[in-house]
Structure 1
Amino acid sequence: MKKFYALLISQWFANAADSLYIVALISLLYKASGSGFSAAIFPIIVTLGMTASGFVFAFLMKKRSKEFLLLFTQLLKTAILFFIIFNNEASLLIIGPSVFLISFLDGFARPIQSAYIPILHNDLNKANSIVQGSNQLIQLLMWPLGAIIVSTVSSLFLLKVSVILYVISTIVTARFVSWMKSDSNETDKALDVEESTITSSMSFAESVKYVLSDKVSRKNTLLVATESLASTAWISAIFLVYISTHLNVDEKWWGILNAFYMISMIASSAILIKLNTKKTVISFSALVSVIATVMFGFAPNVYFAILACLIQGAALQVRSIQINTVLQTYVHHKRLPYVYSLQQTVYTIAFCIGSLLFGLLSDLIEIEAVYALAALIALMATIQSFNLERYLNKLTKSVDKNLEEHIG
């Protein structure tokens, strides 16, 4: 269990630094250029970096171990942030590629970290709840904290804080890697029933082929893509249009709605940890999301919109945790990094398409119609969820039947 918490703590420090350095760089560029474009382009750069990593992830996994890539990418992220601090030029030409590289390296770390969970923890629902809930809590706290530090001290000071957090994350990651290497043989023996039949490396093409051929991976990945597309209706930029055109309230409610949305996600993680349930409610939570989207899009007042945010945040979090749990349960741990990397690429591409689509539609049609479309996409995700759960039930019954025949 100590290895699980070492990995988790390294993630906490890295994620805190990720949030803080972005706040610092947005402020730094805006002050230097006076242009809102510099700030607006950051999410695009981050998304491009994460997407690009998926195409070379499999190649590097063939060359190096998971442990090496996890530690090396964190070291490089720290070095890049040091470079930004000691480079006096606050230019998008310098900062833009640096942010791209950090996001690119993040694209290696995240699939590997997710793939470690079934190796390190027996209760996957609980583990995923802890990981996602705690990381979202950090994100919720770090953005306002970063803004306070920038306004009271300076952007440069915040960057230095981010570097310190990266250094701590690197030290904890190094300790984790050391532990994993010391007992890697025992871990492999404990987990692998037919070790010789499972290859430990795949190319990008082989990863795609595997996901398409394995029903759990394919259904899971298609669901993730559809969810990503639907979830873009809940991003902050669309919220702002919704607040000004539908609710006709002050812009302060933009932050309030976002806060309630995030708090609901964190609270649902805490509830799942306490309940410790094994029951899968992916399809039910997907149906709840359809209802929440309609409620939000046609909310008669801001308080009804808050209620819809609370419902959607909880439903999405439960579903996200259980989708991860399904993948970690039914996919071999040696395949998981490749499946997660491909899913990450699919997710970011779908998110980009959704962001552009809903952003464009919010300028062309009524915002209520945008949320009606989002509800239809969420309904597609609900159908996919039912199909996934039905297949998992068939799979479980088949395993139980084979076990009974073997015992008999």
Structure 2
Amino acid sequence: MIKAKRSFHFLWSGQTFGNLGDILYIICLITLVYKETGSVLHMALIPFAKTMSLLVSGFIAPIFIEKYRRYTLLTITLTLKTILLLLLCLLASYGIDTQITYILLYILIIIISMLEGIGNPARRSMIPDLVKEEELVKANSFISITNQTSMLLSWPLGSILLVVWGEQNMLWLTFGLFLISSTLTAQIQIGEVDNNEQQNDSKWNTIKEGWHLIFQSKKLTTLTLMDVLENFGHGVWIAAILYVYVDTAIGKGEEWWGYINAAFFAGMMVAGIVVYRFSKKMEPHLGLVIMTSTLCLLGLNLWFGLTSSAWAALLVSFIFGFPQMARDVSQNTLIQQTYRDKQLAKVYASHGTLVYGTFGIATLVLGWFAEEYGIRATYMLVSAMFLLSYIIAFTNRKVLHTNRQSDAFHQAN
């Protein structure tokens, strides 16, 4: 267990450095492209290319998960990301003022993002192998804390570093972060058994397996339906819609846009600490935590959408992180209790495709809806999504409360 505990520390610390590198290099590239081209469209294409690449890579990830051990897949993808970021640094030093260099820049962004999407399910599926089952909630909340902390720190840190060091020096820093992430991850020791029974299956059957595993478990089917609705609802928290909300709903300037965003991430970070503290008490009641959290999120979206007080909006933005964090940690734990090893990695790959796809559609649909019917009506629509999600949870409450012995874990073994 000592080796497993050490390996878990290598897993989360490697992920933390990788997360910092991922956000900082995107901030850097957005600034670099805007300075070189002066085009807002070209600047916006960077996060769009990253999101679409993650969507596609989640779809094809099961093929690589089936072929390689999870540790091997994770270390290979991280090493390749580090090498490609080195090429990106060299390209930025050369300059992206020609059409060829500009195209090369986007090719590198797409490949780096696809490697991230292939490696992430392998990393997430390792957690149950590196901690005791009774510590899963605590482990998931701890990883969530580090993720939210890195996200909270990355944006202001990135802005400061851009001013102090400039884009090219900052890119070299992100290369160093990726190098540290790869080195730490390579120290993980995990016992894996190769399963070659499905090696002769077609690639399409391998891709479908993650979806099949989700829908053969009533618990995961319920969580998936809830995720579709709630991830769609999370589209109202993107920067563009919040910007309109600040201007039209609470009548404040751009600075409040920043305050509300900062409050949201700060709330998620503090919530992670609270969930970590009470993880033992949460563990026997994960289904109830998910149902209660969904009901709280419904109420908070209603409050946020109807209020005209900037301070109330700031408070809601901070509080929002508590039920959201509790729900995410509980859901992760339930998924990890249902499947293991490569099956769990494939479930995460399919789930990631669903998350990115739903959120991508939501940003377009909710943007159109806000323009046509107003920002308050948009939050009412989202609240209806959360209400429907709660109804699904309540209808299937017995399924959410079942333990792993009565669920698909034994079906899969």
Using structure 1 for the length normalisation, give the TM-score: 0.90
8 Å CA contact 2:69–2:192 kept in 1: the answer is no
Q: 1:398 to 1:206 in 2, by over 3 A?
A: closer
- Which of 170, 175, 179 lines up with 1:167 in the alignment? 179
Q: Which residue of structure 2 aligns with residue 325 of structure 1?
A: 333
Is the 1:26–1:39 Cα contact (8 Å) retained in structure 2?
yes
Q: CA, structure 1 residues 397+208, in 2 after alignment: closer, same or farther (shift >3 Å)?
A: closer
Give the 3 Å change call, closer, same or farther, for CA 206–148 of structure 1 in structure 2.
Answer: same
Q: 1:124 aligns with which of 136, 139, 164?
A: 136
CA contact (8 A) 2:66 2:342 kept: no
Deviation at 1:200, TM superposition (A): 12
Alpha-carbon distance between aligned partners in 2 of 1:328 and 1:18, rounded to the nearest angstrom: 25
CA contact (8 A) 1:198 1:334 kept: no
Alpha-carbon distance, 1:36 to partner: 1.2
- Does residue 149 of structure 1 match 2:173? no
Q: CA deviation at 1:204?
A: 0.7
Structure 2 residue 278 is matched with structure 1 residue 270: no
Amino acid at match of 1:95: L
Can you give the 5+ residue segments of structure 2 that lack an aligned partner in the other structure? 408-413
C-alpha offsets along residues 117-151 of structure 1, whole Å, 9 cap, x if unaligned? 11111211111101111111011101111111111
Other structure's SS at 1:247 match: coil
1:81 paired residue number: 85
* Equivalent of residue 69 in structure 2, options 62, 65, 70: 65
1:102-113 alignment runs, 5 A limit:
102-113=112-123
Supply the distance in 2 between the matched residues of 1:198 and 1:139 (Cα, whole angstroms).
Answer: 38
Query: Does the 8 Å contact 1:38/1:92 carry over to 2?
Result: no
Match of 2:233 among 230, 235, 238: 230
> Which residue in 2 is equivalent to 1:30?
34
Q: Percent identity?
A: 28
Q: CA deviation at 1:99?
A: 1.4
Question: Is the contact made by 1:10 and 1:173 (CA closer than 8 Å) also made in structure 2?
Answer: yes
Q: 1:388 to 1:319 in 2, by over 3 A?
A: farther
Residue 149 of structure 2 is aligned to residue 137 of structure 1: yes
Distance 1:299 1:196 in 2: 57
Q: 1:359 to 1:341 in 2, by over 3 A?
A: same
Q: 2:124 aligns with which of 114, 122, 145?
A: 114
What SS class does the counterpart of residue 300 from structure 1 fall into?
Answer: coil
Please state how far the C-alpha of 1:213 moved relative to its aligned partner.
1.8
Counterparts of 1:186-225 in structure 2 under 5 Å?
Answer: 203-225=206-228
In structure 1, list runs of 5 or more residues that go unmatched.
189-194, 400-408
> Structure 2 matches for 1:233-252, cutoff 5 A?
233-252=236-255
Q: Distance in 1 between matches of 2:138 and 2:403?
A: 23
Give the deviation of 1:167 after TM superposition: 0.6
Of residues 12, 29, 38, the one that matches 1:8 is 12
Q: CA deviation at 1:95?
A: 1.9
Give the letter aligned to residue 212 of structure 1: F
Q: Is the contact between residue 289 and residue 311 of structure 1 (CA under 8 Å) also seen in structure 2?
A: no
Over residues 98-121 of structure 1, what are the superposed CA-to-partner deviations in whole Å (9 max), with x where a residue is unaligned?
Answer: 111111111112111111111111
Q: Which amino acid aligns with 2:127?
A: I
For the residues of structure 2 that align with 1:263 and 1:220, how far apart are their CA atoms? 26
Are 2:300 and 2:316, in contact at CA under 8 Å, matched by a contact in 1? Answer: yes
> Is residue 362 of structure 1 aligned with residue 370 of structure 2?
yes
Matches within 5 A, 1:20-59: 20-59=24-63
1:391 corresponding residue in structure 2 = 399
Where 2:186 maps in the other structure, the secondary structure is helix
Give the letter aligned to residue 264 of structure 2: Y
Aligned residue for 2:410? none
For the residue of structure 2 that corresponds to 1:335, the secondary structure is: helix
| Aligned twin of 1:406 | none
Q: Would you say 1:298 and 2:306 are equivalent positions? A: yes
Find the counterpart in structure 1 of residue 316 from structure 2: 308
AA aligned to 1:255 is G
| 1:287-321 deviation per Cα after TM superposition (whole angstroms, max 9, x unaligned) | 00010001001112101101211222211111111
TM-score by length of 2: 0.89
CA spacing shift, 1:398–1:5, aligned 2, 3 Å: closer
CA-to-aligned-CA distance 1:340-364 (integer Å, 9 cap, x gap): 0000000100001100011112222
2-structure distance, mates of 1:328, 1:67: 17
Residue 96 of structure 1, CA deviation = 1.8
- State the aligned residue count: 387
Deviates more, 1:45-54 or 1:342-351: 45-54
Decide which moves more: 195-204 or 230-239.
Answer: 195-204
Partner of 2:385: 377
Q: Is the 8 A contact 2:70 2:342 kept in 1?
A: no
